[in-house]
Amino acid sequence: AHDGILRRQALRESAARTYARSLPIVPVRARGLTIEGADGRRYLDCLSGAGSLALGHNHPVVLDAIRRVLDSEAPLHALDLATPVKDAFVTELFATLPAGLAEHARIQFCGPAGTDAVEAALTLVRTATGRDGVLAFTGAYHGKTEGALAASGGARDVRVTRLPYPQDYRCPFGIGGPRGAELSARWTRSLLDDPHSGVPLPAGMIVEPVQGEGGVLPAPDAWLRAIREITADRSVPLIADEVQTGVGRTGTFWAVQHSGIVPDVMVLSKAVGGSLPLAVIVYHEDLDLWRPGAHAGTFRGNQLAMAAGAATLAYVRENGLAERAAVLGARMTGRLRRLAEEHPCVGDVRGRGLMIGVEIVDPEAGADAAPAPADTELARAVRRACLDRGLIVELGGRDGAVVRLLPPLTLTDEQAVAVLDRFADALAAAER
């Protein structure tokens, strides 16, 4: 069955398939960190549904929550109506929100994908401010829609202005470090204040506290505080896209909590749905100025996802899994950094909590090339060597040369060692 399914998929599914190309496996069973393929092979899954499985695959508390809804005969499709299941989800979610937002929070169900929630956030700030433009950052990833609203009647154009996202390793501006971050903030300030910048006061700014698809780039706390201050002073709502960083992944429940900033809007998806599709925005009540129907969608009330999400949020909170991610992440990056000393192809190891990136560079580049150029081919070979050793990882970053490790927050010490043993082995094999 295994080969036949893969063959038919290659023939029938679109050329835009991504994960299926890099991971030619046919998962049939999964539990926790482990996926079992139709060929009987077992894999350690450090992609975790593109970062959405906080508790790994099929966690018993998630399955129980889903079963309880199924057994209750509650409607599975409930549009955006009030239901007990939704009520419980919102209560659980609001209990986790950062202080400063929690007391004033409103929620809009979007959905079902993170992209929908990003769109909702942009529509919200544009409606609330009456302004059009949006500030975003180089290397950002917020989704793949283009034009659904723009193509609908009565839409306005969104104008996006890009600002440099600070980056220590291989900073595109050749600066990096605190000085690079300071210059990015200064650029932001002058763009907003200089009447000759050509950029009118925007409706909002959207930022990932740690860029994920962009190559696992944690934003410096001081920089986040600076852009929070700059936007607050000018009444520009700040949108934190926590689609990938949320629910304990980075070592705090929400990644904005590292810096202590309070965004005006948070975009949440992936792990908040407990492995089922769910996306919401949570925002300050003062912004709740849009009219009924300003953002809509047929599938905004997935009862199973809300139940799975509530169970996941509660489990992460009650079991201190964010703190656990911080400890385990530090240990794993520590070992990866030691590994980097033996492997010239590892240019950089970075991350926050269990959102870890390993940038693969050309091992042949001489010592005078600092840093060595990213090596996309070699990174692909590492990914392949990982898969051959039963370890699932994906790549990201502008050159597709950053190996991303997003294991479940339930990872045990022994599993962490097993993951890194396989990764070390794969590095050595790919380098040969």
Comparing CB distances to ligand PMP, the nearer of 90 and 281 is: 281
Tell me how far, at minimum, the Cβ of 145 lies from ligand PMP, in Å: 8
- State the residues that interact with ligand PMP by CB under 6 A: 50, 113-115, 118, 141-143, 208, 212-213, 241, 243-244, 269
Q: Which residue is nearest to ligand PMP (CB)?
A: 114
- Shorter beta-carbon distance to ligand PMP: residue 111 or 180: 111
Q: How far is the CB of 384 from ligand PMP (least distance, A)?
A: 22
- Is the four-CA dihedral 281, 46, 346, 374 of positive or negative sign? negative
* Closest approach of ligand PMP to the CB of residue 260, in Å: 20
**110 versus 381: smaller Cβ distance to ligand PMP:** 110
Nearer to ligand PMP, 136 or 427 (CB): 136
Least separation in angstroms between CB 261 and ligand PMP: 17
CB of 213 to ligand PMP, least distance (A): 5
Angle between helices 376-388 and 413-431 (to 10 degrees): 130
Q: Minimum CB separation from ligand PMP for residue 343, in Å?
A: 28
- Nearer residue to ligand PMP within complex by CB, 213 or 348: 213
For ligand PMP, the closer of residues 27 and 143 by Cβ is: 143
Of 115 and 167, CB closest to ligand PMP? 115
Q: How far is the CB of 51 from ligand PMP (least distance, A)?
A: 7
